[in-house]
Structure 1
Amino acid sequence: MPIHAAFPPLTTLAASVGVTALNRLLGREAWAAQRLSRHSGKTVRLALGQTFVSLTIANNGQMQVADTSIVPDVTLTLPAGRLGQIFDVLRHKDPEQLVEAMHIQGDAGLANVVADLARNLRWDAESDLARVVGDIPAARLVSGGAPLPKG
């Protein structure tokens, strides 16, 4: 039985929102999409705690939500006890922390590309969220819900 068979996949809506955000980032960073396009047709599974999403790499380097029954070429796992680190990474803009917290297994070439992208892609989460929810809510979400300093 596969390790993730007992855990539910992300909802279709959550997976779609995540893939849309990732593809926007890849659209702004052509070098990243180009590196991924060399692995087109392969599938990456991201397991966050007890849920996961599978993504297939398209010819143009963009990601598509994949059927969860597809055996992934690479699996990135962030254990449930380390999920809180996601907010620290966003707040401090230090993706190396996230890469160090994840367990990566599978196709070595694709695993290296995914790890490099995780280290080097710079997502301005607050800016993207601000377009949807406004500046103040976005700042609070990225800071992990902490109140903003006055002034």
Structure 2
Amino acid sequence: MGLRIATFNHLLNQHPEVRADLALHAGRRIAITLPPIDLAGVVTADGWLAACEGEPEARLRLKHGVALAQLSGREPALSDIVLEGDIELATEVGRIVRRLQWDATEDLSRLVGDVAANRVQGFVRSLFGIKGEIGGRLLENWVEHLREEAPLLARKQDVASFVAAVDVLREDADRFDKRLALLQQQLADKPPVR
């Protein structure tokens, strides 16, 4: 957990204004999950995240669609973010975390210098420019294919309607059990016929 918190704090260090906004929630326990990564801690008065014990007050569960959207420069779909616990806190943390962007060139410049870091950045952009965009679109289309045409992945609406149907069935079964118990009680209370 320490390495994950250190990585998150490193991102916060690159964005002092984001850290200042996070500091407004000092003492609150938060968690951010993007499988297989699970990050949890308490917000410090300086806007850092520190390890802590206990359950988080708010959790953001991010689906992989958020990472795909981030890579392609799009806004993530609301269905790709699940808020749990204190919804107000989770929403605010989500807004704060959304503003975090890793400045890889800055980190690379510390290792190899500014000129070499800018050259590497230019090379990577040219390498992944149109190819990266095509790859991202292919991946999005593949996920859509799995959801729509070859239903290996369930659509959110289908899952929601299935869950609703299960809830109705459970309620009907509960009513049936109560009615059956009432009829059995009435039968037991009747005097035997001779």
| 2:35 maps to which of 43, 49, 64 | 49
Residue equivalent to 2:158:
none
Cα RMSD of the aligned pairs, angstroms, is 3.3
Residue equivalent to 1:93:
73
Cα–Cα, structure 1 residues 98 and 114, in superposed 2: closer, same or farther, change >3 Å?
farther
Residue equivalent to 1:107:
86
Residue equivalent to 1:71:
55
Q: How far is the alpha carbon of 1:72 from its aligned partner?
A: 0.7
Q: Which runs of 5+ in 2 are unaligned?
A: 112-116, 133-194
Residue equivalent to 1:83:
64
Q: How far is the alpha carbon of 1:93 from its aligned partner?
A: 3.4
Cα–Cα, structure 1 residues 123 and 51, in superposed 2: closer, same or farther, change >3 Å?
closer
Cα–Cα, structure 1 residues 34 and 85, in superposed 2: closer, same or farther, change >3 Å?
closer
Cα–Cα, structure 1 residues 91 and 128, in superposed 2: closer, same or farther, change >3 Å?
farther
| 1:37 maps to which of 15, 18, 23 | 23
Cα–Cα, structure 1 residues 45 and 98, in superposed 2: closer, same or farther, change >3 Å?
farther
- Kept after mapping to 2: 8 A contact 1:43/1:73: yes
Residue equivalent to 1:127:
105
Cα–Cα, structure 1 residues 72 and 101, in superposed 2: closer, same or farther, change >3 Å?
same
Which residue identity is paired with 1:127? T
Larger Rg: 2
Structure having the higher helix fraction is 2
* Structure with bigger RCO (C-alpha 8 Å, 6+ apart): 1
Distance in 2 of aligned mates of 1:127 and 1:99: 30
**Percent of aligned pairs with the same amino acid:** 19
Q: How far is the alpha carbon of 1:123 from its aligned partner?
A: 2.6
User: How many correspondences in the alignment?
Assistant: 120
Q: Which runs of 5+ in 1 are unaligned?
A: 1-11
